[in-house]
Structure 1
Amino acid sequence: MANRFRAIAAATLLSLTAMVPTGSAGAADMASMPVKAKPIPDLPFFLLIDNRFTYAYQWGAVDPGVTNDTTKQVFAFTHFDVWTYGTNFFNIGLEKAGKSSPANPCADPTRPTITGCEGATEIYGLIRSTIGFNEVFNTKAFSMGPLRNVSFVIGADGSTENRFFSASKRDVVTGLQFAFDLPYKGFFNVNPLFYYEFANRSTFTQCGYALAGTIPGVTCNADGNRQFNPTWAVELNYYMDLGFLPPSLQYFSVSGRAGFYGPKGSENGQILGTETKMEINAEPIRLTFDASKAIWGQKYAHNVDVWVAYRLWRNKFGLDEKNSFACTVGAGAGSCREDSLYSGITVKF
C-alpha cells in the first residue's frame, strides 16, 4: 500500500515538473541563463491517515463466571495510518454491559446479598504496527502472485474494568504478517505471532480474599496479578468489496477477523489451577452497507458505514469452557462460550 501511494505521489511530481512556464526565449538562450533548480518537495511522512468513531450494540455476550447472556453498548475510536515503511493500527473501546454482568461489588460469591448494581464498564485497547520488508529493502522480492508483502509485526493489548473480578490485561505480540490481495480491492492478512500475557489481575487469586489461599506465589498472588506462560498466536483479517454485484447494489462489503491464542498455563497464572485451552476470538463475517456512498456518491464512500456482524468466542480468556469452575458452575454455566449478534454505525472524521 505504501508503494502505491508513493507511486501516485511520484507521478504527481513528474506531471508538475513537466508544467514549467514557457516564454519567448529560445532553447539556446535558456541554456545560457543560470537557473536555480527548485527542490523536489518531500513526500508527507504519513501517506494515509484514517480516523473513525463507532457506536455498536451487542446481543448474546457472556461474562465468564457471571452470566451466559448479557447485552453491551460499545463506543470505539479507531486510527489507521500508512507511512513510508509500514502501517499503524490503534483501537480503543468502551463497553457498557447490561445489569446481568454487574459492576463491583456485585457478583462477589462471599456477599450474595449485594444486588442491583449497574452494568459493568470495560475499556480495551490494542495497537498493531507493521514494517514492510519490500519497503525497508526497496525491493519486490517479498511479492509473489497474490502475496503483496511480508512485514514485521509488533503490538500490545491492555484492558481494565470495574467488575468484581477486576481484570486488568496486559500483553505483547510480535511476529510476521503475510499480506495477500483479494479481488475487488480486497486483502487477507495472516499474522503468526509470539504472544505473552504478562499480567492480568483476578480478585479471586488475591492473597487475603476469602476464597483465595494464603501463601503468596503458591496458593495466591500477592497483588492479584496473574502472569501467564508465553505462547503462540495467529491473527487473521480480511476485507473485500462486493464488486460483483450490479452497479446499483455496489454499496456492500464483507470483512472479518479471527484470533487463535495457544494455551498459556494455569488459569490462575503462577499458582495451581485448571489448565487453559486454545482461545478463539473471532468475528468471522461483517456485512457493511456504505450509507454515505449510497446517499452522497462515490466521493463520500465509507464516510458513514452501517454494519451487522456475527461474533464467536470459544474458551473466552483462555478458560476451559468444559472444565473450568467459572465456566461450568451456577450462573457461570456456559459463560465461556459466546455466539452473539453485533451491529453498529461507523463514522469517518
Structure 2
Amino acid sequence: MPFHIRSLATAIMGLVGFGAAHAADVSAPPAKAEKPVTIFPAFLVNDNRVTYSYLPNGTDPGVTAKTAKQVYSFTHFDAWAYGTNLISLSLLKSDHNDPAQPCAIGRTGCSGASEFYGFVRSTFGFNQIFNTKALTVGPLHNVSLEVGADAEVENNALSPAKRVGVVGLQFAFDLPYKGFFNVAPMYYKEINHSAFIPAPYDSNQNFDSTWTIETNYYMDLGFLPDWLPLSVSGRAAWIGPKGTGTNQPGTLTRKLELNSEPIRLTLDASKAFAGAQYTHMVDVWVAYRYWQNKFGLDHNLAPQCVGTNAGACTESSVYTGVTVKF
C-alpha cells in the first residue's frame, strides 16, 4: 500500500534521542517514495548517510566544563510497509581537556577520550497495521508503537557503559512543505557504570524506571527561491528523574534531564550547486545544542557540576557539520 514516508529525525536522539544522548546527525529527509526501491524490494526507502561535525563547547561532568569534540556519524533510515527504522552510530573524539584513561593527575599531553554512542528507534504504524486511516485526523498523520535502545561506552575517567531501553507511542503530525513534527512519550529504563562510585559500593548503576518524551521536527523552507534550498529541523528529549542508580549513601537523586537541539539550519549544497537531481546528496548545516542536567545530574548541587567543575552539567554550543548521502 502507498505509505507516506516520515522524514529522517534529527535527534534524537537523536534525538534522540535522540531520548538519545546523541541524536543522529541527519539534516534532511529522504525523498517521498510510493514504490519499493528495486535493489531492496522490502523497503519503500533505504537511506544511508555519513556526517562529520565539530562541537566546540562540549562538557564532561566531573572532569571538565569545556572540551571540543569531533563527531563522526553513520545513520541508516528505512521505511517498509508497516513502519520505519532509524539507526545511528557515532564516534566522538574529545580534546585533551577530557583525557582518556589512564592519565595521571597533573600529566600533560594526554590523548582526548573516545566515546561510542549508538541507538536504534523503530516504529510500527497503526494505520498501516490495521489498514485504516482512522488515525489520520487534521494535522495528525499517524500513531505508532515505538521501541528502541541506546548503548554507550567511553574511555574517560567516568568509564560509562550505558544501556537503555524505551517503548511507547509516537504521534506524528504534518507540517507545511511536507514537513513533520513527532512526539513520543515512552517508558525508559537505564543501566550504566560509574568509576566515580567508591568501594565497597557497586560501580554498576541500576536506575529506576522512569519516563521520557522525545520530539523532533523537520520542514523545508519552501517559501524561499529554488536557488536557496534551506530547511529547518530540531529535536528535544526529556528524561524524568531516575533515582540514584546506586546504594552509596548521600548520592543525589538524578533530576529531570533535557537534551536538545532546538534548531538546525541546513543548506542542500548539492542541489544548490549541481541541480535538483542531486537533492540532499551533500548537506552543510549549523545547529545549536542545549543539554541541561547532563546525565540527570543536578547542575546546581551535584559534585560533578559545581566548584572546579562549575558549568559541566549544562552543555550549550553552536556547532556545524557536513552530511553526505550514499
TM-score, length basis structure 1: 0.82
Hey, what does 2:183 align to over in structure 1?
Answer: 190
Aligned to 2:13: none
- Whole-Å separation in 1 of the counterparts to 2:255 and 2:324: 37
Contact 1:64 1:326 in 2 (8 A): yes
Cα RMSD for the two superposed structures = 1.9
SS of the equivalent of 1:277 reads coil
Closer, same or farther: CA 246–278 of 1 in aligned 2, 3 Å: same
- Going by fraction, where is helix more abundant, 1 or 2? 1
For the pair 1:229 / 2:226, whether they are aligned, the reply is no
**Contact between 1:265 and 1:275, CA under 8 Å: does it hold in 2?**
yes
Q: Is the 8 A contact 2:124 2:144 kept in 1?
A: yes
* Cα displacement (A) at 1:344: 0.5
- Percent identity of paired positions between Structure 1 and Structure 2: 55
Distance apart, 1:247 and its partner CA: 2.9
**For the residues of structure 1 that align with 2:67 and 2:107, how far apart are their CA atoms?**
19
Question: 1:8 is matched with which residue?
Answer: 34
> For residue 263 of structure 2, what is the aligned residue in structure 1?
285
The SS at the match of 2:304 is helix
Where do residues 21-170 of structure 1 align in structure 2 (5 Å cutoff)?
44-106=41-103, 112-170=105-163
Amino acid at match of 1:246: P
SS of 1:139 mapped into structure 2: coil
Following superposition, the deviation at residue 2 of structure 1 comes to 5.6
Letter paired with 2:210 = T
| Count of aligned residue pairs for this structure pair | 297
3-state SS in 1 of match to 2:75: strand
Listed as ranges, the gaps of 5+ residues in structure 2 are 6-31
Counterpart of 2:109 in structure 1: which amino acid? G
Alignment of 1:204-223 (within 5 A): 204-205=196-197, 212-214=198-200, 220-221=201-202
* Runs of 4 or more consecutive aligned structure 1 residues displaced over 6 Å after TM superposition: none
| Alignment map for 1:307-322 (pairs within 5 Å) | 307-322=285-300
Extract unaligned runs of 5+ from structure 1.
11-40, 206-211, 215-219
CA distance in 1, matches of 2:180, 2:282: 21
- What code does the residue aligned with 1:343 have? T
Q: Distance in 1 between matches of 2:54 and 2:83?
A: 32
The one-letter code sitting in structure 1 at the alignment partner of 2:279 is: A
Letter in 2 for 1:136: I
Bigger Rg over Cα = 1
Counterpart of 1:346 in structure 2 is 323
Partner of 1:175: 168
**Residues 2 and 239 of structure 1, relative CA distance in 2, 3 Å threshold:** farther
The whole-number CA distance in structure 2 between the counterparts of 1:334 and 1:245 is 39
Residue 269 of structure 1 and its aligned partner are, at CA, apart by 2.8
Shift of 1:300: 0.8
AA aligned opposite 1:143: T
Which of 215, 236, 255 is 1:258 aligned to?
Answer: 236
Shift of 1:299: 1.1
Q: CA deviation at 1:277?
A: 0.5
CA distance in 2 between partners of 1:327 and 1:46 (Å): 46
Q: Distance in 1 between matches of 2:273 and 2:297?
A: 45
Q: TM-score, length-normalised on structure 2?
A: 0.87
Separation of aligned partners in 2, 1:203 and 1:338: 22
Secondary structure of 1:203's aligned partner: coil
1:204 Cα offset (Å): 1.5
Tell me how far apart the structure 1 counterparts of residues 213 and 294 of structure 2 sit (CA, whole Å). Answer: 16
Q: Is the 8 A contact 1:105 1:117 kept in 2?
A: no
